[in-house]
Structure 1
Amino acid sequence: MSFAPGDVVGGRYELGRQLGAGGMARVYLGHDRLLDRQVAIKVLSEPYASDPQFVERFRREASAAAGLNHPNIVAVYDRGEADGSYYIVMEYLSGPDLKQVIRSRAPLPAVEAIDMTQQLLAALGAAHRRDLVHRDVKPQNVLVAEDGRLKVTDFGIARAGAEAEFTEPGSVIGTAQYLSPEQARGGEVTAASDCYAAGIVLYELLTGRVPFDGGPPVAIAMKQVSDPPTPPSAHHDVPPQLEAVVMKALAKRPSERYRTAEEMSRALAEARSAIDGSGSTTRVMPAAAAAGSAEYTRVMEPATGPTRVAPPPPPAEPPRRRRRWPMILGILVILAAIATGAILFMTGDQADTVTVPRVAGQTEAEAVRALEGAGLVADVRTVESGTVPEGTVVGTDPPAGEEVDEGSTVVVRVSGGPGEVAVPDVLEMTEADATRALRQAGFEVRSRTEASDDVEEGLVISQDPAAEAQAAEGSTVTIVVSSGPEEVAVPDVRRRAQQDAEALLRDRDLEVRVEQRPSTDFAPGIVIDQDPGPTARVPKGSTVTIVVAVAPANVPVPDVTGNTATDARAKLQDAGFVVTSEEAPSDAPAGDVIGQNPSAGTQVAPGTRIVITVSSGPAQAPEPSTPTAPAGAVPAPPPSGADGSGADGRGPDGLGPPGQRR
């Protein structure tokens, strides 16, 4: 059977509007009549209700989720079967799913992404402790409660340890973009498989995209098996400590990634401590810092060679007749000087060399000590950096690992923190344009919505810091986006008195329009229906139509005598009456109506019960019995009447003709 809004399931749950549909089920907003609360009702789709495998999977989802009691898991209240189909009654959450959050806000700030992922891991850890692997972790299966808490749902393809044989070996179940490599190969799934999917969710929170996408699901699954993921920092500025957690979670081999949700959550906690200084963890920066030396133009020292001693100019010709030995001595001195200069020239390039030590991530004092200890001279220069903490070394020039002459000068670049830049004016821009402008200026963006009667829906109402204010590069700018006029939830006024319903609606700043409808099921003055229905959100001042019951006007009863019972029943029901029947013998043909109560033409209210009397045919007279004469007796002469009665029409006993005796 297919269900529709208005149906009552299990004699208790009234179906409302459809909230969504998945591969094998539909989810409706429902009302629990017994506890008077909203619920979500998941109903197995009609084509699958007769398939034992899908029924078992649906039953398994209810059993698995019902056994999990955790604040980050959607609660399951009830389950059952109705009219050949199956349903699960769950906690109703009116908020969006995590995929919608990613589409509207990603990339998210690192600390917020860590918090969301830790909530997801807390739910998975609770499931893993019950030997239950989710196998379909993705943002669409994570809902956001009104208080901002994340709740995991849809354990429809979860695998319990005792039920591992339910999935055939080699089969692939899950969503391609979030499949672990072992799932894509149809291999065994473990808690590490869920950690892989959680790593992809974290990647998507930080970058706004998944690491593997594009093409048919089979092609994406093959990328999960063989292609290395692009580091998230290639798409967006991600702290290196957090990137290390993401890349470990996405290791191809389960043995090389986090084995449990708790282990991955601890790693995220350590990364958060290093990022925001919320813990006592020592922050050791990796060599390849975001603003490392490789990204700076290297300023080389002027290339100078050793001083060469050139020979002096030849001496003037000696005076004639002077003795020759002074000239010979001078030549010898010159030759000695040349030799000395040659030796100095040749040995000048053979000075001792040293390797520039790696000092990125150290404090300025630590870096200077390390360089001087290596026989080098430190030249400290302050640079702006939005990723490296103030006072920490960003990099060196020449870079670490390069061979230089002992005593050379090494430029040490120390972070002075992010530089300040002017915040762009994004008022009355669309959210997308405002986000793009702020990110291009070097800011992170956080957005929230707020109702506004003055600013069109989707445009920025305000920003903090204000336009043109100076703020640190890399800091967060909060924008408030108009959601249009303020909305209110339409209350449920059905089955209330008209006066109470109107008062309740007007208290919510809603206008009221009243329609009347004759009804025999509701007392006059009671609200039968409303539009929009309960839980709908509408702008303040909107009109809600209520349908109020009134007593139906009297109508004449049609004449159905002489009709067949079938025709009479149809005619009376079409006129709005309830019909019952009784039978009575009659000379009229069997099945014809021989009477009705109330009689034809009587003025009565629609819904009145009309009793029709239907002919069962003529009454059957009893067969007369003939006495048996004793053997040898002479039969008595027949009576004088042709039918056995006397001449006066009476029988022999004087009581009248047979069949008419009283």
Structure 2
Amino acid sequence: MQRDEHGDRHARTGGAEAAPDPMTGRLLDRRYRIGSRIARGGMASVYEATDLRLDRTVAVKVMHPGLGDDNEFAERFVREARAAARLSHPNVVAVYDQGDDDGTVFLAMELIPGHTLRDVIRKEAPMSPARALAVMEPVLSALAAAHRAGLVHRDVKPENVLIADDGRVKVADFGLAKAVSTDTQHTATGGVLIGTVSYLAPELVVSGRADARADVYAAGVVLFELLTGTKPHEGETPIQVAYKHVHEDVPAPSTLEPGLPAYVDALVARATARDRELRPADAAVLLHQVHRVGHALAEGVLDDADLTADLTPIRMRLESAEAPSPDDTAPDPFEGRDVGDMTAPIRVLETPLPPRPRPPTPVDQPPRRSRKGLVLLLVALLLVIGGGVGAWWFLDGRYTTTPGVLGMTQKAAEAALEDAGLTAEVGDPAYSETVPVGRVVGTDPDPGSRVLDGGTVTISLSLGKERYDVPKLKGMTEDDAQDALSAGHLSFGTTTEKWSDTVAAGIVISSSPKAGTTLRPDAPVDLVVSKGPQPVKLKDWVGKDADAAADWFTAHGLTSKVASTEYSDDVADGDIISMDPPGGTTVHRGDEVSLIVSKGPELVEVPSVRGSGIDAARDKLEDLGFNVVTHQSPGSLGLGFVFSQSPGGGEMVAPGTTIDLGLI
């Protein structure tokens, strides 16, 4: 893989690294399995990685060791990464995630298989103005979206413009330069220059402060490079180049590529004005000016004085008006004429050239003309002219330029293509964050591309912003809910488990955002999943009142039933003899507890022994399990017979009850 010496390269090219990388094979944040390194730059290395959670291939940019050691930098990095992640645009490399894994600060991004704009410049520059503007259009569209969101890129350069294998153009590394450069001194003579010096705006060199106009300056330098194949300022050291940005204007592209329209020079001059007040306010304004120039090119306008004057920075117009003529004493040949009417310079020769002498013809020999030679000469001329015309026709003459119709309605685009001698065909529609529904979002071939005269241009109409509703996930299993999110072009975020008395374990209780919410593609949706009923630790109720136990079970979401009642000599009537599950067991709400409740001791009928002798009465009562005590009744005669008993005969008492006998 080749890498430009001035910066990173994100696009995957399939090259192999010469030495093993310690990051390869590492698992970052327990989610990203790092594969081979695909690019290395001054601040970070980029790896192809697998997102194990979502099972997709991503690009992971890992900051070089040392940058992540500074807590303040890490905080800035997270802040800028979050801002970049909120930027959703078809021409911006999507930021999926950011993290810090034990000091390794990283970004997870969209992987763009393809190449960079640097590769295009090497192969195609210098390119035609129409082609250069067609390349810049998606770049400026991405920057315009960022500027509307309050983001400044600060490191616009060809290495940060990725071109996918399918032709999509993506701008990468939003916010990264700011995260690295905050609180860092930037001067032309000391400190650190963040960004590639060839594309630095003068104010970044002088003070380090930047707004959207710094990105406009860098975009203008990139446009100059597309038009000429070279950078506007060169030097032996970066400081020399930075000095030139501050003190020298970017030259007109036509000085290197003669024949470029003056309004193209003016467009570059406006974008790269050293005084940022003279530049377009942001990329959206520059994109509008690019469209104006593109329309002039598509219509074949060689010179447009009004457009040139409108684009030329005021200071340059004043300097041009005040510049003295080469010879102040010579009369101005254009004095009194409207300069705006002139379409080409006029050259005046002060002294006519003398006529070329003709060779003398002998008087005695009249000139002879060869008809055969003249015919051959004419035939040769016709062949040359015909061949030239044929070559011109096959190589260039039968082609025209695809006009720029982006943003137009279908009817207006078809009319513009028809005026250009082309046929419009409506292709598959596409989503767009910036182009309204029903307007042209893309063409095939691209604007500015060559197409056969009378050929067909396929236009793609915008479906508007791509949005999807969160599906109803409540009642699904967690796996089914994740599948539903993937099928609905959304991504799974996190799962929170919650106890539920009504929803079975593993079933989705709710989602955040809730069902029906409209989201961008791949937006994360969090799930709340049931853990089932909350467990309860049983209190031991053995030997305690069964009614009180039943109330406690009900209050804790349990049910209870009395499985049986039994006599017990040890447990009082109405108290619990045993429980199943036993006390101390962990159960779940809704579970049932089975109880055995005491009926107290089993009762025995006391027989009547009145009138019986004491010995017979004692034997009878003790055989039934009673205890016997005696006493002499008042007025006892000492006969030894039972006169009274307590409890009395016929009463039901517990075994072991003491029977008191009165003797007479």
The verdict on a shared fold, with TM-score over 0.5 as the criterion, is: no
TM-score (norm 1): 0.43
Bigger relative contact order, structure 1 or 2, given CA contacts below 8 A and separation 6+? 2
